[in-house]
Amino acid sequence: MPFNILMPALSPTMEKGNLTRWLKKEGDQVRSGDVLAEIETDKATMEVEAVDEGVLAKILVPDGAADVPVNDVIGVIAAEGEDAKSVASRGALPQHSAAEAPVPPPPHEEQVERASAPAPAPIVAGSLNGQSGERIFASPLARRIAKDSGLDLAALKGSGPHGRIIERDVKAALTQSATAPLGREARGPTPPMVAPSASDDIIKSYFAPSSFKEIPHDAMRKAIARRLIEASQTIPHFYLSVDCRLDALLALREAINSAAPKNKDGAPAYKISVNDFIIKAFALALIHVPDANVTWTSAAMLKHNRADIGVAVAIPGGLITPIVRAAESKTLSAISNEMKDLAARGKIRKLKPEEYEGGSAAVSNLGMLGVKNFSAIINPPQASILAVGAAEQRVIVKDDAPAIATIMSVTLSTDHRAIDGALGAELLAAFKDLIEKPMGMLI
């Protein structure tokens, strides 16, 4: 029996992707594990592998196709012994997927189920809609979350393989329900509405036709815009700023780098940056103030037992935030080398989803670009982000007399639902103490 090749979901939040190129052509033999095509998301380029054997009978989505919805049929494989030409003439089939992307860790029930279940086995995962008698196809985890939350699965549209309702569909519905306006009798006065954006035609009418060039948004820019709107509209931001003295840190950094062993080529084994100290200090501060190392959900606060720190990295066309996992337990040299690797692969879009998704907090450092101070927008599901400005020499008062010190301004943005002002101040004080007494990070 022929098999459809579906546009895979490379991450839990992926809705569309670009089919960069096919690595097989029509008529080619396909073996399990063969790379069929390259798919580009907003953050990475990944390979799609075959899980069935046969002949690539028909390519339905060509090279370079943009914004292909997840689970759309992109090609058809004829099984061993079938006539590929006959299969190609029939086109896409209603069932059977021949390629699914690996689901990124950290593993949980939904991911294990999707990775290990044969494709597809919808009857096992289905349940009946008591009102219409129609079968509802949903994963066990999705059904359990819906049952615990009192959510009617019949009202949801699935985004999993073949329209199956999976965990992210249920969570999205619960989030939408939690943020939806109450009925008039419960909500009181009507809140002010957000003014809609002007249409493209209206915006372009403000400028002479020959005075600009249209550059279409790529997938990354669209995703960044969508995430920024989501964050700014759904997260109540609260800001706290503090100045940190860097003189002791800069002296320690110079001593550490001077003592770095050389490899066989004579290059140092590591070169610690100020940003590496900042990542380590922020991670330790979150461990020292555990109530601030949290993630907000509509039902509960997730209190983390390690500090996974996202670090904003500029890449062509946007930015990406790779995660340094358990940064509090890593040495400065380990953080330094890991960040160099993550940043290099991020700039060529070769990071795996598990390397940039999640995290409990983030650091955004524009100091190297000369920015003195700024406020950053929180990246969900994180509850805080530390915006780091440039280090500069300033006049301070020391022992009742003017003195010169190297000062760095930082601004902490917090999700006020999870981290209130006093708790945020405690976190920022812990960070400042570690930065100004950096030897504590080496213990």
Q: Which helix (H) or strand (E) holds 384?
A: strand 384-398
Kindly provide the residue ranges of all beta strands, DSSP E only, lying in 200-339, ordered along the sequence: 237-245, 294-296, 301-303, 309-311, 313-315, 318-320, 323-324
Alpha helices by DSSP H, listed for 40-94, are 84-90
Cα angle 282, 296, 332; round to 5: 20
Rounded to whole angstroms, how far apart are CA atoms 350 and 369?
Answer: 25
Residues involved in catalysis: 416
Residues 138/166, Cβ–Cβ less than 8 Å: yes
**Closest among 131, 158, 419 to 302, alpha carbons compared:** 419
Is the previous residue joined to 62 through a cis bond, with omega within 30 degrees of 0?
no
Residue corresponding to tokens 């009181």: 188
**Closest among 276, 305, 304, 311 to 441, alpha carbons compared:** 276
Q: Which helix (H) or strand (E) holds 71?
A: none
Residue by residue, DSSP assigns 243-261 as: EEE-HHHHHHHHHHHHTPP
Q: How far is CA 154 from CA 161, 260, 333, in A?
A: 17, 61, 52
Q: Virtual CA dihedral for 341, 347, 348, 354, nearest 10 degrees?
A: 60
Q: How far is CA 51 from CA 159, 235, 311, 368, in A?
A: 20, 41, 35, 46
Rounded to whole angstroms, how far apart are CA atoms 385 and 382?
Answer: 8
- Give the distance, in angstroms, between the CA of residue 18 and the centroid of all CA atoms in the same chain: 18
